[in-house]
Structure 1
Amino acid sequence: MLSPDSRVLLTDALQPPVGYAIDSVVTTTYSLDLTALLLAPLSFAARTRSEDVDDADPIALLESIRRYVGSMTVFAQAGGLKVPSKYRTVLSFAENSVVEVRAPQPGRLFHPKIWLLRFVCDDAGGYLHRFLCSSRNLTFDASWDTLLVLDEDPDTDEAVDPAPIAEFVAALPDLATTPMTGTRAAAVRDLAHTVRSARFACPAPFASMTLHPLGLTDGAALPVPEAADRALVISPFFDPATSRRFAAIAPDSRIVSRAETFDRTGSDAFTGAQTFTLQAVADRPGDDEAVAEPGTEVGGVPSGLHAKTFVFDTAKEAVLITGSANATSAALGGNVEFSAALRGPSAKCGVDAVWESGKGTTGLARIVEPYTITAAAPDVDADALARVEKDMADFRALLSAAAPQLHFVLNGGSAQCTLRVPEEIVGAFDGEVAVSPVSLTGEYRPLATEVTWSGVAAANVTAFIGVRTRRDGVELFGVVKAALHGDVVGRDRLILRSHIGSAQDLTRCLLFLLGGEVPGDGEVLGLDRGSTGDRDPGRGAVDDTVLFEPLVRAVVGDRAALERVDALLRDLDAPTDLVDDDLRALLDAVRLAHTAVAGGDK
């Protein structure tokens, strides 16, 4: 149930089951933190448990991204990308995985937060699927969210109908602001095809579950009853119309939201309902943060309540709806959203079961407190500020849909970059607009049909363009993705060489690709060969014999690892002082052994 002490980490939910590996992944989000994006490949690698990119081993981060970027597609609201607090050049390898999309209905948002993962068995080759339905964006926001995890269970008696998942995922490529590559779009649709036969089990103590994508087809709606005995509505955002609707559903209606949402909406909209906020101690991620930061439906919630869950009791049955949809007219009337509706007995699944503490759990009532709304009418100033923020978000979406292009020319280790946008976009926002590659600091320049930056380090050439908008005293930043035109392969090689610049780096990387843990530098330091062929104790290079055993194991047990090794060396195009004759001879011998073993399997 929704006990506040039942914690699930997204990074844990992305871990493959024992004996399986990631095969294909689709995720959707409204806002996307580019640094948070890097954590997903680390989780897929399974051997890495870091929840902080800064704590991750650089080699593991680099090769996890390179390994899984082709299998993972992230659909995000156009213009909803966030400027990273620190730019990392490995983001270049993740560029193709990010697809900006827009809702079909004008003025509405792409707002779902789902993950669909397909795992392949290491031995038998069969598939297993996992589906996550969440209220959480792919960001580092310190907010209270919900996460529903459905694992495929071939033996379940009452399988959840996966057709809504399949249809939703299959429709995503058509929402892209610019056409996806044929290969990536085909991979997304293939995942949608295979999930149709998946058998997901409904989690106990619920008896049944239905899945509800919104905003893609006419008439799609959440199963919110007209009337109920009891209602519990948890949402960080409301508007007057939906507030009145939810407050009037039941004679016992409890609404949990954020203080600024209640104040902005006004008490008249919640007549007849009890209103609550999270207690101060629960609304903060840590003791050093005094108050929860304000948020909006467009801008998001940096901290505090962000869960969206509606519970209704009617007689002895309860329905619990959870997912991405806020209790707002936009969410329930045009936004692209995804929620799940779970049904079960009221005694185990209803309002009181969530509200009161059960055996070994903490009920929601223990972490909320009554909130008195002082103003009766909506806050006009807050609405005006929200409209400015919405205008800025709409402009970023418009800029993304205009297919901006970043042309670059490499000259050794530096580049000249020119951003090109259609003329009609330049004056489309009633305010100031400045742009800069997110890799640069202090280089924002007024938007024009062509904006040029010279002397950019080649490793800092990026498709991600920061957009700064100013109007009426409000300044906001966001990111759009541009199409790269230039020597992308050359840029990627320079970035790769910047991360693998020594024999120690290369050996650690190869060991990771071959399925082992990433050893520390001290664990792979050996002796270099002198002119006589003997080991020279003074030069501190790597003894490539540490690779022999992992390579032999890979010949029989993990041939894909050998392909990853070949891909790395091909992309790196390493000079001879990095990949010496001994290592090349060892790899040639392994390839011959691999061919012999593969031939014996035929």
Structure 2
Amino acid sequence: MLDPYDRRHLLEILRPPDGYTLDFAIGTTFSLDLLALMTAPLGFTLFEAESDSGSPDSLALIESIRRYAGRISIFCQEGRIHIPKEYGQPLFTFLEGSVFQVHPPYEGSVFHPKAWVLRYNSEEGPVVYRFLCLSRNLTYDRSWDAALVLDGVLEDRIRAFASNHPLGDFLASLPGMVEKGVPMELQKRIDLMQHEVRRVSFNPPQGFDEMIFYPLGIGNRRSNPFSDRIDRILVISPFLSESRLDSFASLGKGATLISRLDSLEKIKADSLRQFSDIYYLKEEFVVQEDSSEFIDPGQGQIDIEKENFAVLDENPQGLHAKLYVADAGGQGRIWTGSANATDAAFQGNIEFLVELRGRKKFCGIDAILNGGKEAKDETEAGLRTLLDPFTINGGPTVDEMESLKHLADKVRNALIQSNLAAHVSMDGDDHFSISMEGRSPVLPEEATVKCRPITLQKSRAICFSSIPGALAEFRHLQDNEISAFFAFESTIILEEKRLADGFVLKLPLTGAPEDRTERVLRALLKDKSQVLRLMLLLLSLDGRSDPGGLIVGPGRTNGGNWASQGMIPLFECMIRALARDQRRLDDLNHLIQDLRSHPDTKDLLPDRIDEIWEPIWEARKMIGGDEHDKT
């Protein structure tokens, strides 16, 4: 039922069903990598994603972000956005309206779900919803995770499916967890989706006959997901707490535990002895970091010498899936989602689990461990083939950096609670300044903090001031260096031990030029072939069109003069957009007018573009309608 060798990429499971396009997506994550969010819109298209160098093709990214960033809203734990390894990525500007930082209502709790709800439209078919329940954050973690994908059709009915109320309630709760609220348009969108999702007929995956949604930590939802009959349980969790393990071990007999080696070594022997079998992931299956990745998935921005500093790494490799499997008579029960086997997960955190029920023969503990057989047969491609047994030794290991990690958390929380904001003003020489203001945080004396917009290199970071007034000020900035995302890097020194930590906060930004995204786009376009290719991408109706094979990566052509070759396919794309989706022409007109209005870019427009564009645009105006009429 669960094949550990069936591995999927997030972009694959975001891909719309055939004949459908994305209408809107709401995602939740504990930690967030901005590059992962930036590339997510590629999942809603079939644009060529990579150039010859293996890095994402900037023009495909630009068009996918331009088309879909306004249709994606991501809710993440405040203070858990990663610092990008590469500074100066201008496309992050497009993401500022998509990120919403959550501060949970309960002290000491965290926002930890990894659930997505996606709404897809079709010209002919009904509205389709997809629900993703993941154990993976929206980051580039190189770890073993679990993903549940459910598709369903919006039914034409007045009464809701009672089983979907927990999912609808979860969606409805999200705006209330954002301290400064969400824009009215997003609130309306969430209101619509939480209402509709209650009327979607989700079908359980093949082999299961029942499923139950469990949002944890919202409103008065304190239900116990592990009620009803349990004869035996398998716990798979990367992080553990002793009291929660005691609770699981008391459910039935012959409990099995699978976790990370370093997590198991921190648990007392008495708690571990309650489990009949204990395993950890074999070393050969721990995916090592690939040096070819063009961005570090974690806190790689902090450039320190490792023999003198420890780096707070929140994206360990290895096991990251959270799965609970139980035998209950002839029935098998599986819970999957975000909740670790810790007290925090079940006593305060915001989490999401889904329970699936089916025949024990196909989804019981032995079926999961042994690849579909109740007998222990290691010839099957089951989970057991990835595991080594864990031997219980003496007392638990002690994390010597625990006190420094606690101080790093205090720094993070103090900065979050300072209500920081950024204001942009013009310098006298066509440059900009950004001043950061807010309450002066009380920082531990063992800590020093530097900060910068993520568009600036590390050497331009300045020390964060606790003096009332301007806490930090950045001068002489280019327009493409303005950002609402600010990196904070702290250094903790305690008793000759040192720890470096870093994170990003999205701050309220005022005074910035209203045309920042247009400025970014103009700066990225270098020649006529790029502009023509962007036009073809922009006019592509579903991300699948490749007129004449011309939508290829930068520097790759099909022979001859690329720009002149593209004029006939460009005209054909215009005709097709005029007939099927005039919004594409509205977007193209905006691009043409913007490029034409600036001396640095007016000469980048393809030669004789007006000969084909002007009659198309006149026809578009005769049809009427507004580019914002549809969402």
| 1:82 CA displacement | 0.1
Residues 113 and 136, structure 1, Cα contact 8 Å, conserved in 2: yes
- Aligned pair partner of 1:561 in 584, 588, 598: 584
- Aligned pair partner of 1:587 in 613, 618, 631: 613
> What is the match of residue 110 of structure 2?
109
Residues 436 and 444, structure 1, Cα contact 8 Å, conserved in 2: yes
Distance across 2 between alignment mates of 1:171 and 1:462:
28
Alpha-carbon deviations, 1:418-439, whole Å to 9, x = none?
Answer: 222223x254886222211112
- Aligned pair partner of 1:376 in 395, 413, 417: 395
> What is the match of residue 455 of structure 2?
439
- CA spacing shift, 1:490–1:418, aligned 2, 3 Å: same
Correspondence list, 1:175-190, <5 A: 175-190=177-192
Residues 335 and 353, structure 2, Cα contact 8 Å, conserved in 1: yes
Residues 26 and 116, structure 1, Cα contact 8 Å, conserved in 2: yes
Distance across 1 between alignment mates of 2:181 and 2:79:
16
| 1:597 CA displacement | 5.5
- Aligned pair partner of 1:334 in 348, 359, 370: 348
- Aligned pair partner of 1:486 in 495, 504, 511: 511
Residues 244 and 271, structure 1, Cα contact 8 Å, conserved in 2: no
2:369 aligned with 1:350, yes or no? no
| 1:570 CA displacement | 4.8
Residues 362 and 372, structure 2, Cα contact 8 Å, conserved in 1: no
What letter matches 2:464 in structure 1?
A: L
The farther-off stretch of 64-73 and 410-419 is 410-419
Distance across 2 between alignment mates of 1:397 and 1:258:
31
- CA spacing shift, 1:32–1:315, aligned 2, 3 Å: same
Alpha-carbon deviations, 1:83-118, whole Å to 9, x = none?
Answer: 011131111011110111111111110000011111
| 1:153 CA displacement | 4.6
- CA spacing shift, 1:379–1:248, aligned 2, 3 Å: farther
- Aligned pair partner of 2:572 in 532, 546, 549: 549
Residues 277 and 368, structure 1, Cα contact 8 Å, conserved in 2: yes
- CA spacing shift, 1:159–1:171, aligned 2, 3 Å: closer
Alpha-carbon deviations, 1:351-379, whole Å to 9, x = none?
Answer: 01101123895111111111123233563
Alpha-carbon deviations, 1:117-161, whole Å to 9, x = none?
Answer: 11110x227411101000000000101100000011579xx9893
- CA spacing shift, 1:549–1:380, aligned 2, 3 Å: closer
Correspondence list, 1:57-136, <5 A: 57-87=57-87, 88-121=89-122, 123-124=123-124, 126-136=126-136
2:421 aligned with 1:420, yes or no? no
> What is the match of residue 398 of structure 1?
417
What letter matches 2:212 in structure 1?
A: T
> What is the match of residue 276 of structure 1?
279
- CA spacing shift, 1:226–1:127, aligned 2, 3 Å: closer
- CA spacing shift, 1:52–1:207, aligned 2, 3 Å: farther
Distance across 2 between alignment mates of 1:383 and 1:250:
34
2:500 aligned with 1:499, yes or no? no
Q: Secondary structure at the match of 1:217?
A: coil
2:138 aligned with 1:138, yes or no? yes
> What is the match of residue 536 of structure 1?
none
| 1:26 CA displacement | 0.4
Residues 468 and 478, structure 1, Cα contact 8 Å, conserved in 2: yes
Residues 247 and 271, structure 1, Cα contact 8 Å, conserved in 2: no
Q: What TM-score does the superposition give when structure 1 sets the normalisation length? A: 0.88
- Aligned pair partner of 2:315 in 301, 316, 327: 301
Q: Secondary structure at the match of 1:194?
A: helix
Distance across 2 between alignment mates of 1:200 and 1:380:
44
Distance across 1 between alignment mates of 2:428 and 2:150:
50
Residue identity (%): 30
| 1:412 CA displacement | 6.7
Q: What TM-score does the superposition give when structure 2 sets the normalisation length? A: 0.84
- CA spacing shift, 1:363–1:545, aligned 2, 3 Å: closer
| 1:258 CA displacement | 1.0
| 1:177 CA displacement | 2.9
Residues 133 and 149, structure 1, Cα contact 8 Å, conserved in 2: yes
Correspondence list, 1:301-320, <5 A: 301-320=315-334
The farther-off stretch of 298-307 and 383-392 is 383-392
Distance across 2 between alignment mates of 1:354 and 1:51:
40
Residues 235 and 323, structure 2, Cα contact 8 Å, conserved in 1: yes
- CA spacing shift, 1:126–1:407, aligned 2, 3 Å: same
- Please provide the CA RMSD for this pair: 3.1
Residues 134 and 148, structure 2, Cα contact 8 Å, conserved in 1: yes
What letter matches 2:271 in structure 1?
A: A
- Aligned pair partner of 1:194 in 193, 196, 207: 196
| 1:57 CA displacement | 1.9
| 1:452 CA displacement | 1.5
> What is the match of residue 36 of structure 1?
36
Alpha-carbon deviations, 1:375-404, whole Å to 9, x = none?
Answer: 3356364654553454344335434xx142
| 1:457 CA displacement | 2.7
Distance across 2 between alignment mates of 1:568 and 1:185:
29
| 1:444 CA displacement | 2.2
What letter matches 2:386 in structure 1?
A: I
- CA spacing shift, 1:411–1:362, aligned 2, 3 Å: farther
Distance across 2 between alignment mates of 1:488 and 1:506:
23
Q: Secondary structure at the match of 1:340?
A: strand
What letter matches 2:353 in structure 1?
A: S
Q: Secondary structure at the match of 1:256?
A: strand
- CA spacing shift, 1:216–1:159, aligned 2, 3 Å: closer
| 1:411 CA displacement | 6.4
Q: Secondary structure at the match of 1:489?
A: coil
Q: Secondary structure at the match of 2:16?
A: coil
- CA spacing shift, 1:96–1:415, aligned 2, 3 Å: same
Distance across 2 between alignment mates of 1:405 and 1:567:
29
Distance across 2 between alignment mates of 1:54 and 1:183:
37
Residues 103 and 215, structure 1, Cα contact 8 Å, conserved in 2: no
> What is the match of residue 476 of structure 2?
455
Residues 27 and 114, structure 1, Cα contact 8 Å, conserved in 2: yes
Alpha-carbon deviations, 1:490-516, whole Å to 9, x = none?
Answer: 433321111123322211111001113
The farther-off stretch of 513-522 and 130-139 is 513-522
2:230 aligned with 1:205, yes or no? no
> What is the match of residue 302 of structure 2?
none
Distance across 2 between alignment mates of 1:251 and 1:327:
18
Q: Secondary structure at the match of 1:488?
A: coil
Residues 422 and 437, structure 2, Cα contact 8 Å, conserved in 1: yes
| 1:587 CA displacement | 2.6
Residues 427 and 476, structure 2, Cα contact 8 Å, conserved in 1: no
- The alignment covers a number of residue pairs equal to 577
Distance across 1 between alignment mates of 2:571 and 2:529:
15
| 1:70 CA displacement | 1.0
The farther-off stretch of 428-437 and 180-189 is 428-437
| 1:300 CA displacement | 3.4
Q: Secondary structure at the match of 2:433?
A: strand
- CA spacing shift, 1:316–1:325, aligned 2, 3 Å: same
- CA spacing shift, 1:42–1:78, aligned 2, 3 Å: same
